[in-house]
Amino acid sequence: MTIPPGAQGDPSDGPGESRSDRWSDLDRPPLDSASLRRALVRKEGLWSSLDVVPVIDSTNTDLAARADRLPEGAVLVAEEQRAGRGRLDRIWTAPARSGLFFSVLLKPAEVPVERWGWLPLLTGVAVATGLSRTAGIDTALKWPNDLLVTVDGQERKAGGILAERAGADGVVIGIGINVSLREDELPVPAAGSLALAGAVTTDRDPLLRAVLRSLEDWYGRWRAAGGDPSVSGLQETYAAGCATLGRKVRAELPGDRSVVGEAVAVDGDGRLVLATGEGVREPVGAGDIVHLRAV
């Protein structure tokens, strides 16, 4: 395997050894990159390459920098990220091999660009579907693309998605999922992990295979429908799994503006529609959503 630019071991490691190669935590073995490639990279499939690196600054940043030189379907996985990013420039940190941290390159040339905004929501559906089947836990989505699990009766964020335009015709989608994080390792109290939610497995190899296969399936449906969220079934499926709908929420919008209302729908452009107290229906296309209470 050729290690992409920016991927490296820790300078403090001895010759031929990197932090992520050590079996210092036997509950967190490294991913089996050869087995993953055999299972996922197929001539007729979406995934054209799959690289696993021990440590990197950001899988999204690295893959985006090489987007014009790579075919669609490149997958870059890191055992550890030093500068992982979430939405709204938030930092994503986690111990090495405690989760799934990866990015994929998509080039939906046959889909109108105005429908590309559905890609992060599509990825959320794919991640939630794949993990529910394989980890055996209930998952939900907080608009637009946070993965929620239930820990001790409370909703916790266990994953997030970041989509960015890359190169002339691509989109890089970064996915971070907390798999085996323990309570004392969580970055914030509102965070969670598959392990804390009672997952039947925290083996990252089958979890990653399940998520990528689910993403390939949903992306294929959406692309075959020309990106139409209704025809592909994406809009209906997203709404069915969205924990934000039916709730009173506060949307914190660009420009220090906020709107409070009941989340009543996800429209054809993927925007969250709020019904305000003034009887106005306001679509929200970007911003931070705070769940206030169930309706």
Q: What is the pLDDT of residue 90?
A: 58
Closest of 10, 229, 252, 213 to residue 126, by C-alpha: 213
2 falls within a domain: no
Tokens of 283: 């679509």
| Comparison of pLDDT for 91 and 216, the residue scoring more | 216
Predicted confidence (pLDDT) per residue in 206-216, tens digit: 999 999 999 99
In a domain, 6, yes or no: no
* Digit-coded pLDDT (tens) for 18-37: 444 444 566 799 999 999 99
Note whether residue 71 is domain-resident: yes
77 domain-assigned: yes
Reduced to 3 states (helix: H, G, I; strand: E, B; else coil), residue 274 is strand
Q: Per residue in 101-155, pLDDT tens?
A: 999 999 999 999 999 999 999 999 999 999 999 999 999 999 998 999 999 999 9
Average pLDDT value over all residues in the chain: 89
Give the Cα separation of 30 and 203 in Å (integer): 10
Mark which of 222, 239, 256 sits at the end of a domain.
Answer: 239
Query: Is the pTM here over 0.85, yes or no?
Result: yes
Are residues 60 and 75 in contact, defined by beta-carbon separation less than 8 angstroms?
no
Domain count, the chain: 2
Q: Is 7 within a domain? A: no
Structural tokens at position 219: 């992306």
- Residue of 84 and 175 predicted with greater confidence: 175
Tell me how far apart the alpha carbons of residues 265 and 98 are, in angstroms, rounded to a whole number: 35
Q: Looking at residue 91, what is its pLDDT?
A: 62
What Rg do the C-alpha atoms of the chain give, in angstroms? 19
Please name the residues in contact with 147: beta carbons below 8 A apart, sequence gap of 6 or more. Answer: 124, 127, 128, 131, 139, 140, 141, 157, 158, 159, 160, 161, 177
| pLDDT tens per residue across span 222-245 | 999 999 999 999 999 999 999 999
278 pLDDT band, cuts 50/70/90, is: confident
> What proportion of the chain, given as a percentage, has pLDDT over 90?
80
Is 248 found in the same domain as 270?
yes
pLDDT at residue 295 in the model: 54
Q: Residue 248's domain spans which residues?
A: 244-294
- Statement to judge: residues 159 and 253 lie in one domain: no
175 and 100 co-located in one domain: yes
The answer on 223 and 272 residing in a single domain is no
Note whether 168 and 269 are same-domain residues.
Answer: no
148 with 213, same domain? yes
The count of residues in the chain is 295
Same domain, 211 and 125: yes
Res 277: pLDDT: 87
Strands 49-53 and 74-78: parallel
Contact 36, 102 (CB under 8 A): no
Please give the order of strands across the beta sheet that includes 74-78: 49-53, 74-78, 99-106, 170-178, 154-166, 146-151, 140-142
- 51-80 pLDDT, tens digit per residue, is 999 999 999 999 999 999 999 999 999 999
User: In this predicted structure, what is the pLDDT of residue 75?
Assistant: 98
The DSSP secondary structure of 62-106, one letter per residue, reads HHHHTGGGS-TTEEEEES-BSSEE-GGG-EE---TTSEEEEEEEE
Do residues 194 and 137 both lie within one domain? yes
Instruction: Give the pLDDT band (50/70/90) at residue 9.
Output: very low
Distance (Å, whole) CA 285 – CA 271: 5
SS3 at position 23: coil
CATH number at residue 266: 2.30.30.100
pLDDT at 250 > cutoff 90: yes
* Residue 86: per-residue pLDDT: 53
**Angle CA 132–172–228, to nearest 5:** 70
